[in-house]
Every structure is written in structure tokens, then in C-alpha cells.
Structure 1
Amino acid sequence: MELGGVCTVHSCGVLCDLDVFERAGRSIITWRLNMFTLIGVGSGVAWLFSVLALLLPGIFPDQFKTHAGTVYVYFEAATVILTLVLLGQLLEARAHGKTNSAIKELLKLAPNSATKIVGNQESTLSIEDIQKGDLLRVKPGEKIPVDGSIKVGAATIDESMISGEPIAVDKQAGDKVSAGTINGNKTFTMLAEKVGADTLLSQIIEMVHTASRSKAPIQKLADKISGYFVPIVVVIALIAFTIWAIYGPDPAYVYGFVNAIAVLIIACPCALGLATPMSVMVGVGKGAKSGILIKDAEVLEKMNKIDVLIIDKTGTITEGKPSVEKMVSTSAQYAEKEMLQMIVALNSHSEHPLAEATLKYGKEKAVQAKAVDKFEAVTGKGVIGEYEGQSLALGNEKLMEQVGAVIAAGLLKQVTDEQKQGKTVSYLAVGNAAVGYIVISDKIKQTSAEAIHRLQEEGMEVIMFTGDNEATAKAVSDTLHLNGYKAQMLPENKLEEIKRLQAQGKKVAMAGDGINDAPALAQADIGIAMGTGTGVAIESAAITLVKGDLNGIAKARLLSHKVMRNIKENLWFALGYNVLGIPIAAGVLYPFFSVLLSP
């Protein structure tokens, strides 16, 4: 950028130096005085004084001259003030521009093309050309192009984009599927039912856009102070000029003019203008060192006032990926290690996401996968095969019925109790009897309980919103002693609930990690993204916790408190030196000590 009235980033919404004076002029005309009033008046007067001193140095009294007979000029001071103001505006504009990045990330979730079926022929067409009622083929690993329902086939769909839950969902013919979600390892045919702006993904994009635009910028504390400070300074400058013009020595009007200018220049908000950005700069740097990335400086002001924290479950409270919680053998014939050997052998042939969790667990326990014959994946139920001459079945109760495996009453009760807590449980049957089970869940992070307790002690309500079922949500809430929870929440539900809390006058922060959290993160007074989450969530949030640790929220709150206290101390210091300096600049010491303060 340049300081000669031309600004290379003007099209981005950043002020150039002429705009500073235009805003200062408008603030005086409308009498809505702010920081720009002080900057415009102070730097403008300093520049005009300097021009006069350069061209007509002889009209100034000796008290304002150097030993060489020249008068001090303030061109560089005016330039520095304007440069700092423009730099602050540039940083602010860049921060606000991040909203568009979130929307771009969301747009990347939709595929560019789809495979359409007409008769026995398949053709590739653009997403924009898909019509309601079209028959589409979705191949393994592809993103689903539009909202609709499965017509032929079955699939395992990763719906974490919508629900936030890491465990993939089994879908059969007639089940609904959503644009942007990811197909597993099977091909299926779907019927397009919602296209274009009607798809759920498009609605999420619009929600993020609307929520981001709806935010009003906070009026800066320095502007509030300026509203009172500017008229006081102008009145003092006029009084100083009048007194010097009437009672001052010759040339009285020059003395009056120079001292009035000195008052206006000393009041130019160098310290007042830097009080906030300097503290914010240090605060943002301290936050980064602690793994707290702060996108918008206003966050440091808002964070100290938050009284409700909304947290997502998966990836925020929990680790965000399915893992084996435990394995239980109910048969004296098979030890747990033998059961694990059978499960690893079966799942080594499976491509289901839950199989990956068991294989990882087996690797941790140093279990090697052995050969399995006659392997078969039974959609929606589990897997079967032969292992060392024995028939094995791993899956849900329906699979046990299919293979004729008997489930003992005690085993059934244990599994039912686990399922009531929202955990995924698979029976293992050997021959015609179920011999145990394996529990897969999303573990709570070790730091979550400590962080939530710490925030609650500071008077903050902590409420969980999750797309998971009621049983799981209640189990997590009870374990962590949360202030409340809501289960089976879709992106629009989270957004509306935050709006409802804000309508009650609550200051709301939202912490999440998924695409489904993006609208809520944008709507909240402060959006907090887990650094381990999706790019969309990070772009939609004002704070990113690099380590994905909720303790970072408590640290951010403490940082906010300290930064705000420092800003207020800086502002009081700036005002204090003005209270002392303005009377001296006006010439109050001259009658007693013949001392004048040079502009």
C-alpha cells in the first residue's frame, strides 16, 4: 500500500489514507466521534503545521525553533500514524475474508460429476445437469452426488459429514442418502430426489454463509473513549488559543495558534490507537505458543464474556474414531486371546470400517491374522467364515439367528446393557453357540473431564450437542457431569438451538470438529474448532485448538481475561499521559517557568 492517497488493497475493503480523512470528516459532520476523528484531526493538523513551519519558519517564536533556527516538522509522525491504522485495517479485512474459505471448503465436498443410467446405458454428466427422478450409479469410494434413496443394492455410507459420528451406516434399498457423504465398498443405484440448492449439503453451505454475514462487529473500546475525548480536546485547544490571543505576548495569535496545535497533536491517538492492537498482537502470539490459533482479534474481547459452551461429542469430547473398548468371553472353552485370534482372522477379509478397529486392536495385542475359508460378508449383519475347521460368525443378533447360534440369557443381558449405552457390540459365534462379544466405541479423551470441570468451576454452562443416539449421549453426559445434552442433532438443529440461546441474551461459544458443526460454529459468538477436525470446521471457527484438547478453551478464556485487562491498563495509561500532557501543551507552565511544549 502507499500513503499518497493510493491503496493497492482498497478493493479488499481496506482503507487508504484519504479514506481515513473522509471518515474523520463524516464523523465530525454526523457527530459520531471515534478513533478516526482523532487520527484525522491529529495527523492532519500535524501535517499542516509542518507545511507552515517548512515554508514560513520566521513567523514562529524562538521557543519553537531549534538551535539552527528551523522549526520542528512532523511529516514522519503523521505518516507512521496512518501506516499503523492502515496495517490494522488490512489485518482485520484478512480475518473477515476467512469466511469465504469455509464456503470454498464446503463446495469441495460435492463431486463434480455423476454416472446416470438410461436404459442399459451409463453416461457421465455434470452435477448441475442432474434432474429430480434421474437414476444414478454410485461406485465404491465415490461421493454421493445428490440427495435421494437407494433403488437397487446396499451400501455402507460414511455420514460423518452430517451426523459427526465416525461409525459408518449400513444402508438398504429404500434408505435415504445425502450429497457429499461417501460410499463404502459396494456399488448401488440411487434415485435422485433433491438436486441443486435443495440438497442438504447446499443448505449447510447457505447456513454457514448466512450465519457469518449476520455477525455485527463490536464497537471498539477506543472508539467509545474517543466519543468523549475528542470534543474535550477540541474545546481545550480553542480555550488555549483564546487565552493566548488575549493575554499572550507578541505575536499573541502565533502563540495561540502554535499552542492550540500542540494540544491537538499531543491528543492524536498514538498510544490510544496502539493500546489495543499491541496487546492483541502479544495475546495472539502467546495463544499460538500454547496451541491456540486465534483468527479474529475480537475473539479476545468476546471470550471473557462467554457464559454457555456448546460442545460436539465426536472428535471434541471423544477421540473421533471407533476403537475396541473391551472383549468378553462367556465360554470357558475360549480365552479372550483365542477369541481375538478368530475375530482378526475374519475381519482381515472385511472392508467394513468397524473391521479396521478390531484389526488395529489385534495388532496392538501382537495377534497375527490366520487363514479363513469360505469368507462371506452379510450386508447389515456381519461376517462369516471357516477357521481351522470351525464355522465362525461375527455380527449382530440377526446374524446369530441366521447361522442358528444360541445366545445364552446372561450373554444377551450383558450385550443389551452395553447397547443401552450406545455402544456397538458384535457377538462371536463358534459353531452353533455365541461364545462372547466385542465392544466398539468412541473413547472419551483423557483431558475432556478435567477441562469441562475447570470451565464449570469458572461459572460456564457446558452443554453437549451430538448427532448420536439418546443412550450414548446420556451415558457421556452422565460420565462427565455436563449441564445438559441434546441427542440426534442435525446441522440445522444445532444452528437453531444456538440462535435460541442467543435470543435469551446468552453469550455462546461452540466447539466442534466436523462439517456438520460448521453452521453452528459460524453462528456462535465464538466458534472453536478442534485442530484434529475437518478443514471446513477450522475455516468456520474463530479459534482453532491445534491439539484438539478442550483444556485449550480454558486457556483461551484465561488469555482473553489477561489481554482485556492489559488493553484497559494501556488505555488508562494513554489517557493519563494526555491528562498531564494536554495542559502543558496548552501552556499552563509558561506563566511560572516560561516553559512551552513544542508540538
Structure 2
Amino acid sequence: MGIRLGTLNNTSERTLDLFGMTCANCALRIEKGLSKMEGVSDVRVNFARESVFLRSSDSVTLDSLLEKVESLGYSALVHDANKQSETEKKQKEHIRNLKFRFLLSTILSLPLFYGMVTHFSFLSFMPMPHFLMDRWVQMAIAFPVQFIIGFPFYQSAYRALRNGSANMDVLVVIGTSAAYGYSVFGKDLYFETSAVLITFILGGKWIEHFAKGKSSDGINALLKLRPETATVKSNEIWTEVPGEYLKLGDLVLVKAGERFPMDGIITEGESFADESMLTGESMPVEKKLGDQILGGTVNGSGSLVVKATKVGNDTTLSHIIRSVEESLGTKAPIQRIADQISAYFVPVVVSISIIDFLVWYFVITPGIITSAIETSIAILVIACPCALGLATPISLLVGTGRAAKRGVLFRSAEALESVSKINWIAFDKTGTLTEGKPKVTEITQDGLDASALHLVLQNIVEMEKTSDHPLAKAIVGYGKANNLFIESAAMVSTKTYPGGGIISEQKGNVYIAGKREFVEENGFLISESIEESTKPWTIDGSSLVFVGIRGGINGMVVFRIEDSLRPEAKAAIAELKSIGVEPTLLTGDHHTSAEKIAKLVGITSVHSGLSPEDKARIIKTLKTNQVHSAMVGDGINDAPALASADVGIAMGTGSDVAINTADVVLVNGDIQRIVDLIRIGKDTVINIRQNFGWALGYNLLGIPIAASGLLAPWVSGAAMAFSSLSVVLNALRMSRWK
């Protein structure tokens, strides 16, 4: 239920889902507020994930934590790693609400925005309905935008001020309220200024929250690997129980094709297991009496009885989920820069506006309040943070669009900042540097002439169609590629032996296919020519399928099955080295296979036989040494490392877990695009910094001019709009870069 014992005595670790945050300052306030509670330590609020992880003594109750969050002006729920429905429901509801408010605000603001163009002489030729310039009409249109649609801004600003700080919403509220209020009581109309500002900022918040809502998809995909039910032996009867109620020592029946609901030891049966989602090993792993089973992996063929040794949050899969959650919880988006600036910028601007009002009212135009109000509003309007708020999202939009055309999808704003700093990159092997699909690369045979070999291969392919073993599928794929087909009716009988192979009788011939030991156990001797042919294959770590034939035809065929190297892998590694990025191989595969692939692509640093946690640990170690790391992977086993790296890069052809955990997705699985994404990231970060320069430049230049009385409020509003336009145009300019 999101609560587990920590490493310290009498200490608990808790994760809460948060609601109501609008900026990084909100996260900072919650973090500070919780840190002040007696017995609470190590508070980490993640704005992007909308959650908080903390450690506390057992004396700190859950209710007291929830009440503290409530007192700060937000709400929280206990994070449940197994059941996230309530949190997801609230998050989706919030995103829908933001979208509705943005669209409604846009509809209401358009006529006001259209009316504003009459201020510009070069657009005076455009027809302008007279009623749109009526004060009461504009006030009626702007009122719901300002005070109904924009009400959450007032709530956020109030919470910030009540807790002794200021966020972007404070300046939004002051600036738009001043523009609206002056329009009601002054001689000029600035309703469009307030309405358009609120619309722009709502659009940015909607995009931001929509992106944040996607960050939980990786966890949800992992949770789906847990079977909802398990078949348990009770009083000598097999009955189904919910998977979450499994106990240590339970005997669980797992049929062919089913996922294992827990970690355990096999007590009955033989089979093979597809563990690629956890270990990265592309080949199936033989499982027999006494072997260990990992929860979430898939049983191949044959039923197994497994004794539960780890259940619930203690399983390997649960550890991976927890590792992904904690790694994701350390991230913060690049938008934090604007909020950090606002923490100082907002109170400074408000102070300048107040001082300016007093100077005008008491010194420059004594007793004339109109001039004092106009200059104060001009300062607030020109300082309004629309351009500052747009600086990051608009560059992100253009940068991600540019990347998408190259087959690269950025899933987080931080990735754009981080990819430009990458100097070390780790690759998983299976499905990343290799295709992830076993294929027959060579065959050798003994005792068969050309015509007999063709017939034997046809029969072998037809026999292997009856098996769901990955190696059998590789042989069937070989048959399709070489047009080796016969009618299935030619087979008299076929029997599968889990963990061994297949025996099939076909028109007076017996075919025995499988591991070398299985074929030998069934009466075949491996000839000297077969020994010589297959010895280098064995050294290279290839998988071999032996097929012995006796009857009318006598002989043997051996298939060499490998996970083929991606054709672009070698060139991609060379390009990365050319721009100063050091590649490393991190894989769960055995050393021989790893070294072979690394040598083929030009990687000299190799770590093999790694668990998912091992991969993540290596990357975390590099972080402490100030190395900017990236991880490229495609499987569930890569998820912790993808989350731990500064940038996680997933193959679009990989698992949903990897894709949803990563910051960047290579849509077509083309790793040559990694160099493109690094260059695009650098360009985008440069563009964002330029936008911050434009946005702050207008403010810093415009504030003193407005304070001197040289800018009317409407001119300030136009300048503010132009600053936003310049930021947009600068970002669009990036789309033309090569």
C-alpha cells in the first residue's frame, strides 16, 4: 500500500500521490512543510510525477501526513503500487478539466483578441464590429475567463502567499486583475490582455499535465505482468485465488503460456521459461525440478508446480517496479527554471509597482491617482510572465516535432536538457544492438545428399510448427524464407518433451529434434564432421538444435540459431565515438555472447550477466562521478536502468514498460538516430535559453520604461504580446535548422 519498512530501525518509507500542484514552487512548499514535521526525514517531492517520497519514524501517522499536506493547500492519497486506479482517476479528471477550461477560454478570448488588432494601424483595414468595442460587452465576455475559468489561479496564488512565497500564479493574478480592474473603472479597455494571458497559460498547463500523466504508464505496464489469479493447492484440491493473496510455501500450478504469479522453486514438471522481460536473455531458459522461477516471466510448454518463495512486494518484479518508481521520483522537468526565476522575480516586480505608484502619487503628479495607477498597471502588465511561461513549452514543441520527423520521440522536457550533456551511453544487447529475434544463420549436416536434405528440411520445418518454443519458431522462419513447405498430413505422430525436444514420425522416418543431450539419449551418435562444424558455434555462444533422422533416411542436421546484429549498430557506435560519447554494453546475457556482439560493433567496455538492479546500480555509480549517462534498452529488464540514467532511450520496437519508462523513444528502433537526438537536444536547449533571454529582456527593458510613464497600459499589453510572439518565432526558427 505504498508503505514498507526502511533500512533504519523504527523507520517507515511512504509514498503519497499529490494533487493541486501548479509549479515547482508548489513542490518546494510541500517539501519544506513536511520536512518541518517532527519525526519526518528525507522528503523528496517530484513535481513531474506528482508524488512525494519520505522517511519517518513509526510515531508519525499517515493521517498526520495527509493533514499536513491539506494544511499547505493541497491534497494527497496513499500511493498504492498495486492499485493506482483512484490516483489515475483523479489525474485524468484534472487533465480533462484543464483541457475544457483552455478550450472554453480560447473561444471566449478570440473576439477580444480580434478587437485588440484595432490598436495596430497596419491592421486597421480589417472589419471591426462596433459592438466588440463596447465596454460592457467586453466585460461580460472577459468576466468568466478572469473569475470562473481563472479561479484556480487565484486559489494557487492565495496558497502561495499564505505560505510565505510567490509563484507564477501570483504575478498572473495581479497582472490580469489589474488589467481587468482598470478596464472596468478606467478610460481604456484592456480586457483582451487579461483574457488572452489566462488562455495562453492554461494551454501551457494542459500540455504540461498531459505529459506528466504519461509518466505512470511504465509502472502500469509492469503491474500488468502480475497475473490476477493463481491456481493453488489446498487440501489436495487445486483452487483459484487472487494473486495478491498468495502465501509463502503455497504450491502453485502454472500451465503452458501462463505467467508465474510469484518467485518460487519448481517441485514438479519440466519446461522452459521466457525470462527475456527480466534478464534480457533472448533464448528460453530450461526449467526442471529445483530450478528457480521469477514472477512475471512466462511458462513455455508443459505445466509446472512451483513452491512460492517470494510473494507480493518481495518478488523480483516488485523490486523492479520499486526501483523504477524511486528513480522516476528523482526527476524534475526543465520548466522548473521559470518557476525558480519567478520566486524572486514576482516579489521584485510587485515591489517596483508599489514603489512606482507611491512615487507618482506623492512626487511626480501629487494627488493625481490616475497617472499613478496607469504606470503601476503598465509595470505589472509588461512584467506578466506569458513569454517566460512560453519559453520552454514552445521550444519543446518545435524540438520534439523536429525530432519526430527523424523517428525520435521525446517523452519529457528534462530529456531535451539532458541529452545535450551525454558523454557516456550504455546499450542493452538483446533487441537493442541485436534484432531480439532468434534466426537460423547456418546449418550443417551429415549423411544426406542434396535431394534427401531438401526433403528432410521440409519435414523438420513442418514438425517444428507444432512447437511454441522460440528456437522452433526460428526454424519455421528459416523454412518460410527458403520455401520449405509440405502438407502437415505427412506427419503420423509428433510428441513434445518439455526441456528436451520433439520426436516425430513421418512416412517411415523418425525425426528427433532438440538439445544435443536429448538426441544422444535417443540413440544418436554425433559424428566427427558434426563435432568439427559445431565446435566454433558453441564457442561463440550460439544456440544449437540437433535433428537426428533414422528409418528410410539416416543422417543428422544441426541448426545454428543466433540473435542477429542490427545492420546499423556498428555505424551508430562509430558515430557516437566521433562526437565524444563513450559506449558500454550492459547485458544479462552470458559473457561469451556479450563479448562477441561488443567486438562486432566496436564496443570495448562490456558488463555481462547483470540483473536489472545491477544495470541500474552501475548507472547510479556513474552519476556520483558527475558522468552524464544515457541507457538504451528495449525490455522490462532495462526499466530500472532506463529510469536511473540521466536519459533513458527505448527502442520503439521494445516492450511497453521500456517505452513508458524512458525519456526518449526511437520509433523504428534505429539506433543511428541517437546522434540525431543528441544534436536536436543541444539545439533545443540553446533555443530555450535564447527564449528566456528574450522573455526576461523585454521585462528588464520594459519595466523601467513603464515606470517612467512612457508606456500606456495598452502599449505594455502589446509589448507583452510581442514578447510572446518573438519567443514563438524564435522557436519556429529552430524547425528550419539542419
1:17 aligned residue? 153
Work out which of the residue numbers 524, 531, 534 in structure 2 matches 1:405: 524
Residue type of the partner of 1:341? Q
The alignment status of 1:488 with 2:609, answered yes or no, reads yes
Work out which of the residue numbers 548, 572, 575 in structure 1 matches 2:693: 572
Work out which of the residue numbers 592, 601, 620 in structure 2 matches 1:499: 620
- The structural deviation recorded for 1:355 is 0.9
Q: Does 228-237 or 282-291 show the bigger shift? A: 228-237
Measured in 2, the distance between the counterparts of 1:17 and 1:222 equals 17
Measured in 1, the distance between the counterparts of 2:91 and 2:485 equals 61
Contact 1:24–1:41 (8 Å) recurs in 2: no
Q: What residue ranges of structure 2 are gaps of 5+ in the alignment?
A: 1-19, 21-72, 74-89, 99-150, 718-738
Higher relative contact order (CA 8 A, sep 6+): 1
- The structural deviation recorded for 1:576 is 3.7
Residue type of the partner of 1:204? I
Measured in 1, the distance between the counterparts of 2:500 and 2:183 equals 90
Contact 1:427–1:434 (8 Å) recurs in 2: no
* Partner SS state of residue 322, structure 1: strand
2:583 aligned residue? 462
Contact 1:296–1:542 (8 Å) recurs in 2: yes
Work out which of the residue numbers 484, 488, 492 in structure 2 matches 1:367: 484
Measured in 1, the distance between the counterparts of 2:201 and 2:392 equals 12
State the Cα deviation string for residues 452-497 of structure 1 (Å, max 9, x = none).
Answer: 2222222122222211111111101111112422112111112222
The alignment status of 1:355 with 2:355, answered yes or no, reads no
TM-score relative to the length of structure 2: 0.70
Work out which of the residue numbers 397, 407, 413 in structure 2 matches 1:297: 413
The alignment status of 1:534 with 2:655, answered yes or no, reads yes
Residue type of the partner of 1:448? A
- Change in 2 beyond 3 A, CA 1:388/1:54: closer
Q: What residue ranges of structure 1 are gaps of 5+ in the alignment?
A: 58-70
Q: How do residues 275-424 of structure 1 correspond to structure 2 at under 5 angstroms?
A: 275-329=391-445, 333-334=449-450, 337=454, 340-369=457-486, 371-373=490-492, 375-387=494-506, 389-424=508-543
Measured in 2, the distance between the counterparts of 1:146 and 1:89 equals 41
- Change in 2 beyond 3 A, CA 1:123/1:222: closer
Measured in 1, the distance between the counterparts of 2:675 and 2:634 equals 17
Contact 2:594–2:608 (8 Å) recurs in 1: yes
* Partner SS state of residue 442, structure 1: strand
Measured in 2, the distance between the counterparts of 1:478 and 1:380 equals 32
The alignment status of 1:550 with 2:671, answered yes or no, reads yes
Contact 1:466–1:489 (8 Å) recurs in 2: yes
Contact 2:333–2:412 (8 Å) recurs in 1: no
Work out which of the residue numbers 175, 178, 199 in structure 2 matches 1:48: 178
Measured in 1, the distance between the counterparts of 2:382 and 2:162 equals 22
Measured in 2, the distance between the counterparts of 1:215 and 1:570 equals 23
- The structural deviation recorded for 1:505 is 1.5
Q: Does 471-480 or 454-463 show the bigger shift? A: 454-463
- Change in 2 beyond 3 A, CA 1:26/1:471: farther
Residue type of the partner of 2:544? V
- Change in 2 beyond 3 A, CA 1:113/1:457: same
State the Cα deviation string for residues 521-571 of structure 1 (Å, max 9, x = none).
Answer: 222222222221222222212222221221232222222122122222222
- The structural deviation recorded for 1:306 is 2.0
- The structural deviation recorded for 1:141 is 1.8
2:599 aligned residue? 478
* Partner SS state of residue 184, structure 2: helix
State the Cα deviation string for residues 298-323 of structure 1 (Å, max 9, x = none).
Answer: 22122212222222111122111111
Q: How do residues 242-253 of structure 1 correspond to structure 2 at under 5 angstroms?
A: 248=364
Instruction: Indicate the percent of aligned positions where both proteins have the same amino acid.
Output: 37
Measured in 2, the distance between the counterparts of 1:375 and 1:419 equals 28
- Change in 2 beyond 3 A, CA 1:16/1:462: farther
- What is the total number of aligned residue pairs between the two structures? 573
2:307 aligned residue? 191
Measured in 2, the distance between the counterparts of 1:598 and 1:142 equals 66
Contact 2:379–2:716 (8 Å) recurs in 1: no
Residue type of the partner of 1:455? L
1:202 aligned residue? 318
State the Cα deviation string for residues 68-108 of structure 1 (Å, max 9, x = none).
Answer: xxx32333322332333333233333323333332222222
1:66 aligned residue? none
Residue type of the partner of 2:520? E
Contact 2:279–2:589 (8 Å) recurs in 1: yes
Contact 2:157–2:173 (8 Å) recurs in 1: no
Measured in 2, the distance between the counterparts of 1:267 and 1:120 equals 76
Measured in 1, the distance between the counterparts of 2:264 and 2:155 equals 52
- Change in 2 beyond 3 A, CA 1:16/1:284: farther
For the aligned residues, what is the CA RMSD?
3.5
- Change in 2 beyond 3 A, CA 1:112/1:246: closer
* Partner SS state of residue 136, structure 1: strand
* Partner SS state of residue 613, structure 2: helix
Residue type of the partner of 2:533? Q
Residue type of the partner of 2:475? T
Residue type of the partner of 1:121? I
Contact 2:520–2:526 (8 Å) recurs in 1: no
Contact 2:445–2:555 (8 Å) recurs in 1: no
